[in-house]
Structure formats: structure tokens, C-alpha cells
Amino acid sequence: MTLPSLRESLEAHGLMAKKSFGQHFLLDLNVTRKIVRLGQDDGNSFDGQVVIEVGPGPGGLTRAALESEAAYVLAVEKDSRFIELLSELDTAYPDRFGVVEADALKVDEPALLAERGLPPQAHLVSNLPYNVGTPLLIKWLTGPWQPKSLTLMFQLEVALRVVAPVGDDDYGRLGVISQVLCDCEKLMDLPARAFTPPPKVDSAVVRLIPKTQRPAPNIIRNLEMITAAAFGQRRKMLRASLKGLGGEALLAKVGIEPTLRAENITPAEFLRLAEAL
Ligand code: SAM
């Protein structure tokens, strides 16, 4: 079955982007295919596996995911206007596609997968709505369910924060938590003009692959607390910013100079602090 172009689909359903849903669409399939291809580089193949896509909108990234060898693509879309348009993909890709109308911040991914008889493991791909991009990433990083990999389009500023090395201007809480829990890589930049309608800022695709050795949930909670305290007062020395969490004594336990600042501490050192707390 030949699908209409994404523009034709939008027109046929009388759909326009809505700002409140953070809608900036990718209507060039060459771009969405590139994202899916790069997401699978270095042995992170989707072959025979489930892909969850958050915010499919008109379905450009969805179509690219369906063109891969993924066994099933499950899309989670909050805007009810798109459900009918997306359901047409079911005809083109019978038994390989499902769409759920839901808020990705609230969905229980293992339950969604189990309801469809799918395995509990899945890769995530998304051109994220900018307004909820960071909370969604934090949910997938620190929550009870971990994706096999996350290939995510963010506004450039957030992408840079995820991959920022220690000492960098963009280095902060998001980078530490992401890099302690995942191998993180920026895959490609995309200018604002690649989207319809164009957002005010440029974007980039980041891939995060959760590490096999995952810290226990209480250590992850400690890490969240320590990074919040340390970067909440990033100009202060750690002995001051971490005062409420053990201050100098905690730093001495792991051999970190109390006069250093949050931006000088590597993700591995933050993990040691979280373990010592
Ligand atoms: N994937 C499409 C593309 O690349 O053209 C659309 C991307 S657009 C930046 C973000 C999409 O996420 C929109 O379809 C929007 O309706 C949807 N969305 C916004 N908030 C959401 C949420 N909380 N849960 C699920 N989808 C959401």
C-alpha cells in the first residue's frame, strides 16, 4: 500500500500544528530515516524488537521506524486529533503498529507492552515535545522502567547539556544523571528550518544507551539529591553546597577536595558520593 505524503495526510485530516502540544513536525522522510538509521548505529539494531515512539504527530518518524526491521512500533500520542491519521499506518503495516492516546509522562510502559502481548523491553525514539522533553528524559532515566536505548530529538541547548563533559559551561545535573546511567552521544544537529512550523531554536538528536551495571534505586535517589544540592548553588564550594548532606565529612569519605565546585566533579565522582551518602 502506498501512503500519501505527510503533507497530504495532514491536509486530508485538516490538521495544523498546535503550540500547546509542542508540535514542530518533520515532514521530510529522508530526515526521519536518517534519525532511525543513526539510532541503530554501533550494534544498537532494532531488528526483531519493539520500538516505542512518543509523540508521533503526523507520523514521519513512525514511518521510518516501521521501515526498519523492528518487530512492532507502538506510538504514544497525547493529541487526540492525530489518532485517526495514525491508525491508517495499521493498514500499511498490519500487525506491526499500534497507537495509544495517552500522556507519555503518565503512561506505564511495561503495562502498555504487556496489554499487547509484547516483551517488556523496547527501544525509544522521539522528536520530543520541547515543553516536556526534560521531564520525560528524567522519567526514563530514573524510573522503574528502562528502555533498551533512547534516540531523542531535543532543542540543541538540552542536547548539549545531556552530553556536556565535566568543566563545560553546559555541564550540570542533567548531564551527570544521564552520563552516570547511560552512554550518551550527540548524533546529529538539525536547524530550526527542518521543522514545520520552525521552532525558535535549533535541535539535535542524542542517543542514550543505559549501562549494564545500573546503580540500585536508592543510589539513584541519592544522586538526584546530591546533584540538586551541588548544582543548585554551583558557584559555591562543595563543602558549602553539600552541607545539608554531610558536607566535608561526606567529601572526605570519597577523597574529594571540599574546595572544589560542582562543575569540577566527574559523573563517576558524583556516583561515589551518592554511594557514600
Ligand atoms: N514525531 C512527530 C514529528 O517528528 O513530526 C511530531 C513531533 S512534535 C515535536 C511532538 C509530538 O508530541 C506532537 O505530536 C505532540 O502532540 C506530542 N506530545 C506532546 N506532549 C505529549 C505528551 N505528554 N505525551 C505524548 N505525546 C505528546
Question: Tell me: the pLDDT tens digits for 169-193?
Answer: 999 999 999 999 999 999 999 999 9
Query: What is the average per-residue pLDDT within 157-172?
Result: 97
Atom in ligand 1 nearest the alpha carbon of residue 104:
24
Instruction: Tell me which residue of 64, 58, 63 sits closest to 33, measured CA to CA.
Output: 64
Partners of 155 in the β-ladder: 203
Of the CA atoms within 13 Å of residue 72, those in its CB half-sphere come to 14
Cα separations (Å) of 82 from 7, 78, 203, 232, 240?
13, 9, 23, 39, 50
| Contact indicator for 140, 54 with CB cutoff of 8 Å | no
**pLDDT above 90: residue 1:** no
Q: Cα separations (Å) of 66 from 37, 70, 125?
A: 12, 7, 12
| Cα of 21 from ligand 1 centre, angstroms | 7
State the pLDDT at residue 34.
Answer: 98
**pTM as predicted:** 0.96
Mean pLDDT of 214-235: 96
How far is it, in rounded angstroms, from Cα 198 to Cα 205?
A: 16
Averaged pLDDT score across all residues of the chain: 96
Q: Please state the ipTM of this predicted complex.
A: 0.99
Pocket test for ligand 1, best of 79, 82, 103, 139 (most atoms within 8 A of CB): 79
What is the model's pLDDT at position 222? 98
Closest protein CA for atom 20 of ligand 1 = 21
Query: For position 18, what pLDDT does the model report?
Result: 93
Q: Are 210 and 147 in contact (CB under 8 A)?
A: yes
**Residues lining ligand 1, CB < 6 A?**
21-26, 54-58, 60-61, 76-79, 103-105, 127, 129, 132
Q: Which residue among 127, 131, 152, 201 is best mutated to probe the pocket of ligand 1, counting the most ligand atoms within 8 A of its Cβ? A: 127
Question: Which residue from 5, 16, 66, 77 has its CB within 8 A of the most atoms of ligand 1, so it is best to mutate?
Answer: 77
The answer, yes or no, to whether residue 20 has pLDDT greater than 80, is yes
Which residues neighbour 83 within 8 Å (Cβ) at sequence distance 6 or greater? Answer: 77, 99, 101
What is d(CA 90, CA 31) in angstroms, rounded to the nearest whole number? 22
- pLDDT, mean of residues 223-246: 96
* Statement: residue 137 has pLDDT above 90: yes
Instruction: Give the residue ranges of the annotated binding site for S-adenosyl-L-methionine.
Output: 24, 26, 55, 77, 103, 127
> Is residue 2 predicted with pLDDT exceeding 90?
no
Separation between Cα atoms, residue 54 and residue 77, nearest integer Å: 6
- Mean pLDDT within 109-132: 96
pLDDT > 80? residue 27: yes
